[in-house]
Structure formats: C-alpha cells, structure tokens
Amino acid sequence: MKALTFSTFGNSDVLEYIEIPNPELKPDEILVEMKAIGLNFADVYRRKGNYHLKGNPPFIAGYEGAGIVIDANTNSEFKIGDRIAFADVPFANAELVAVNVNHVLPLPDAISFETAASILLQGLTAHYLATDSHKTTAGETVLIHAAAGGVGQFLTQISKSLGAKVIGLTSSAEKAKAAIEQGADHVLLYNDDWKSELFKIIPKGVDVVYDSIGSTLAESFEVTKECGQVVFFGMAGGDPALVDPRMLMDGSKTLTGGDLWSYLNSKEERIKRASQLFNWIIEGKLKLSPPTSFKLSEGKLAHDYLESRKSTGKIILIP
C-alpha cells in the first residue's frame, strides 16, 4: 500500500509518499480501505517531533477518517463493504488502516466519507465542550476564540442550537464573515480593542469563554462575568500565563480543562457521541463548510496550506 510518511522531523519537506507493507491485523482489528482522511494540527506537531511517537520510522500520522471494510478478520459483527469511520485510530494517512473494533463508528448512508473525515475530531470536540465541559443552556452568552476555525464553527452552531447567544473572536474580516455565516451574533477582531467592544455588548461579561489559544487565558477571565467559567482546551497561540487561585475565588469563577480523549473512553461513548453528531447533520441542525481536498500523495501541499492559517474549513486527504 501507499502511505504519507516521514522518517525525520522537520518542515513539510520531510513528508514522503511511499510504498510500505500492508498492516498486519490483530484479532480485534478489521482492515479498512480509506476513502477520506482528516488533516489536523496534531499531524503537523507529530511531523515536527512535538509529540512522542511509538515504533520506528517511517512514521505515519493521522487519526481520523472514513472508508470501507475490506477484511473483517475474525469479527463477525462486520462484513466486507461496511461503511465505517473513526476519530481515534493511528496511522490513518495510508490507503489501508487496521482499525480496532472498539473504535469503529458505523457510518449512516446519509453521511459521506468526506463529511465524516471533516467533522469527527473537531465536531466531537465541540460536542463535549458544549455539553460536558460547560452545559450550555438557553439564554446564556458564550465567547468562542478562533470562531472561524473548525472547532469554532461547530461550537458556534451547537451553542446556537442550544439557545445561547454567541460572540466570536477572529483574526481577520474574512474570518469574521465566516463566523457570522455559522450563526455568530457578534464577531470581534483580535487586533481591535475587543474587550471594550465585548463589554458594550454584554456589560457584565459572558457566561463562558471557550479558549483554544492559551496565551489569551488571562483576557478570557477578564471578560467572564462573576460566577462565570473559562474552558481551556488548546494552546494554538502559546502557553497560558499562570492562573491566580485568588482571582478565581474573588470572582467565583471556574477554570475547566478540556481534552477529547477523556470522553472517547469506550466503544459505547464513541458511538453515542458520533451518532448524535451525525443526526444533527442529517436533521440540518449542523451545517458544514465544504472541505478543501488534497490527494494523499499531495500531503506536503496540504500541510503547507494548513500551516498558512488561510483555511476556514476542514482539510481532507483523499487516497
């Protein structure tokens, strides 16, 4: 099979599209022919050597995708031709992937392979943020950092469907337009005096801030109302400043950390959460911007485009 690999760490030039042996299946694995693969910043971090990688080179990144079962192995609940997807299976940047049966997500006929590869990691992240990290209720006001990004777009739509008012933060007028199209009530720009602008909209501050930037954490607390909450789930802008517990106490504010892997902790949880996500799409409650597609063999171009931060939707790889 062919796979997008790297044997040394560095920029996108280290990526190689090469022939490697097919996966050897363990008893609890099925073999999937990939039809679409999601590209994420985590794949860039792996390529750069920021994450610990098991095994020996050539390394294969990728954790998210969709395809067709071509070998059910000893697992009678699956058959050749089944449409499946996954959000947390390693070595996805390949034509063939060995998928543990506990990580398989049945793919409804109404959901395309491209849609599944576009939504699972980011959509499931937005899902737990709005329903677990903070249980969004009607009438609340939420602030979403990077509102035009993948998670930001889904989180905006989910928050709106739950009855919240959404204020988005973005870095450009073009991205602000994208956030408005997803349903944000107001969008502020990082380069402006966005905190002052926010207090004009909601003088007492917001109920919850979803902060995926990290370096903005102190500012997120500044615009959170008394008894409000900040959900910290990413560091796209760098490490956050240390949080003073006295500040939390004085304003009765809450800091919550968020990580998707804490919630995808069983076969049942994976299927339940993904099924709700798929149903929201089928019912029209969740709309996706068309993904930008690259051939898997064009992995270098896809990585460069992702790192350029010019994209406002999902980037997928097609074997």
Domain borders along the chain are 2-119+264-318, 138-257
Mean pLDDT, rounded, for 2-11: 97
Q: Name the residue among 6, 37, 22 with its Cα closest to residue 306.
A: 37
Structural element, H or E, at residue 124:
helix 113-128
How does DSSP assign 271-288, residue by residue? Answer: HHHHHHHHHHHHTTSS--
SS3 106: strand
Determine the Cα–Cα distance for residues 67 and 20; give it in Å rounded to an integer: 19
Q: How confident is the model at residue 41 (pLDDT cuts 50, 70, 90)?
A: confident
CATH number of 2-119+264-318: 3.90.180.10
SS3 222: helix
Q: Is the pLDDT of residue 309 over 80?
A: no
Name residue 19's beta-bridge partners. 2
CB 319 within 8 A of CB 2: yes
Q: Provide the mean pLDDT of the chain.
A: 95
pTM of the model: 0.91
Six-digit token pair at 65? 């995708």
Mean pLDDT, rounded, for 295-316: 89
Q: Name the residue among 24, 113, 33, 120 with its Cα closest to residue 81.
A: 33
Domain covering 138-257, topology? Rossmann fold (3.40.50)
What pLDDT, in 10s, does the model give residues 265-289? 999 999 999 999 999 999 998 988 8
318 phi, psi to nearest 5 deg: -115, 115
